[in-house]
Chain A
Amino acid sequence: MLSAVARGDADIIGLIQAYDARSQPLVIPALAIAGASLDARNDESDDLLAGVELLEATAGAPLSGAEQATRLAGIIARTGLDTWDAHAAAIADAAICPILTLDASKWRQPSADLDEPLHIIEIADPGDQDPDT
């Protein structure tokens, strides 16, 4: 989802803004922002990513201290996720909150590799799957 923000996907940005207007809390893993920034690599993308944390109901989640770092390493070792996604998994696992993603399939196996499965929510437009409707 953050990669879509970095790309300037207006509909995803509109979706996040709409949830913020509903005061829906959103936790943003710092390393997931790093991963999205790496995908895009330009100033506007970084401004868009920084803008996520300026929303009312959004909170940034840093990687803090040795305990969180080693826990992150454990999740990477178990799931094979990259560091950026693993930080999202670590936070979702610890805070018992769902992961919003544009690609649920990539989370299926990593979720199965953990003791407690992750709650994965796919962002999709059902209208995209059926162009006749």
Chain B
Amino acid sequence: MSDRKTRLTITVDAHLSSYAEQLVEAGHAGSVSAAFNEAMAEKAARDRHRRSLWKAMSDQADPGRVARMMAHVDRQLAS
């Protein structure tokens, strides 16, 4: 989490807004903004993990085989 915050206005589903307020009341989040900030931070982390998994997998690809498969696909697309 960063200390630098940006103000924005968002519209969310009513049940999610209620849940964020429940988290604050229960002391599990400092504020509704903090609850949504945490949720978005978790999504950002999940997406980073997925991107790095894709990169790790594609780094293992055989470039020659990928090039042959692409040429095969391109020939079919052109016909």
Contact = CB atoms under 8 A, between A and B. Distances in A.
Given A15-B61, A17-B58, A44-B53, A98 B69 contact: no
Contacts, number: 74
Interface size class for chain B?
20 to 34
B77 A18 contact: no
Contacts of A11: 61-62, 65-66, 69
Interface residues of A, number: 25
Interface of B: 46-47, 49-51, 53-54, 57-58, 60-63, 65-66, 68-70, 72-73, 76-77
15 contacts: A11-B62, A11-B69, A15-B66, A17-B54, A17-B58, A44-B53, A47-B46, A48-B50, A98-B76, A100-B73, A121-B77, A122-B76, A123-B73, A125-B65, A126-B72
